[in-house]
Every structure is written in structure tokens, then in C-alpha cells.
Amino acid sequence: METLIQFELPRWLQRYQQSYQASADLEAQMDFLIDVSRLNIQYDSGGPFAAAVFEIDTGKLVALGVNLVTSKNLSMLHAEMVALSMAQQTRGSYDLGAEKPDLSLVTTCEPCAMCFGAIPWSGVRQVVSGATDADARAIGFDEGPKPDDWQKALEDRQIKVISGVHRDKAAAVLRAYMNQGGMLYNSRQG
């Protein structure tokens, strides 16, 4: 018996991604994703996180993802996992580094343990994040165990890491989610 796991991106997201103007500027990419994370809360389609895969040199959007954990009842549907999966489907390969141009994963929050584990296998050459692990934990999310030196671990694999891009703006979305009573799923804290 074959079992198929499927998920659809929210319709609003499919429409909203049309508004993106390609830019290699990391702050512009992060601003776009912070807006997407706010909309994900507004449309009640998941948690307060957004991520995308962009071409590093041109800023072309390859794939956009949002956190869909609560709306699709799948714990693996973190924004990064959705964005990487969509990029792999778009590119027709599980290895996003197999062909040029090089790709970047941009995410509104540092990767959790699960997403950190997926990054080296995905083939992206760069990871850019906004809010920190501490910002997510401060509102009650359990980010899981990952190395304290997670950035070095990725850089040792020739994956460039840039953290703290518009951290305050990205962290403000997390706090807004908490203040409006957003669900803190998997928040057992060990």
C-alpha cells in the first residue's frame, strides 16, 4: 500500500509571492519574508515563521515557504523545510547545489534543530536569518538541541551564514504572535 503525504501552500501565499521584486539585497529579502510571516499569522495558516530560497547573485525567488505545522498537522512543515522542499521540486533535484546558480536559504528566524539538520543536505550555499534562537525560545518555542556553534558547523561545510538581518523586526513578529495568543506547539522545553 502506497501512502502519499501532500500539502498545499495557502492561496494567499501563492498570490503574495507575485509581489516580490527580485533583489540581491538581503535586507530587502528579509523585509519581504517578515511581511510574509505577519500574513501567515493574519491568515491563521501556521506559525510566525517564513523562509525562502533565492538565487544568491540575482535575488530571484526560487521557492517561498511558511510554517504550516498547525494548519496541516505535520510537525515537519517548518518554513525552512517547506521552502527547501518547494525549491527541490522546482529544480527537480534533492541537491540544490548540483547546478548553478548558487542558492541561499533566507529565514525569519535561526533554524531549529530539525531545519539545521536539513540545511547541509539541501545543497544551499548560504543561510541568512533574522530573529535568533533565543528570540524564539523567549516566547516559548522549543527549538530543540543543536550545536552552540551551529554557524561554524555550517561554515565548515562551505555554507556561508549571515545572522541578525533585521533581527528586531523579525523578533517583533514573534512577540506579536505570542501576545495575540498564538499556539506554541512542541513547547515542552525538553
Q: What is the distance between the alpha carbons of residues 105 and 65, in angstroms, rounded to a whole number? A: 11
Catalytic residue among 80, 99, 143, 155: 80
Instruction: For residue 110, indicate whether it is catalytic.
Output: no
Task: List, in sequence order, every residue forming a beta bridge with 55; answer none if it has no partner.
Answer: 103
The pairing of beta strand 160-162 with beta strand 103-109: unpaired
Residue (of 139, 169, 185, 160) closest to 32 by Cα position: 169
* Exposed / middle / buried, residue 57 (Cβ in 10 Å: 0-12, 13-18, 19+): exposed
Active site residues: 80
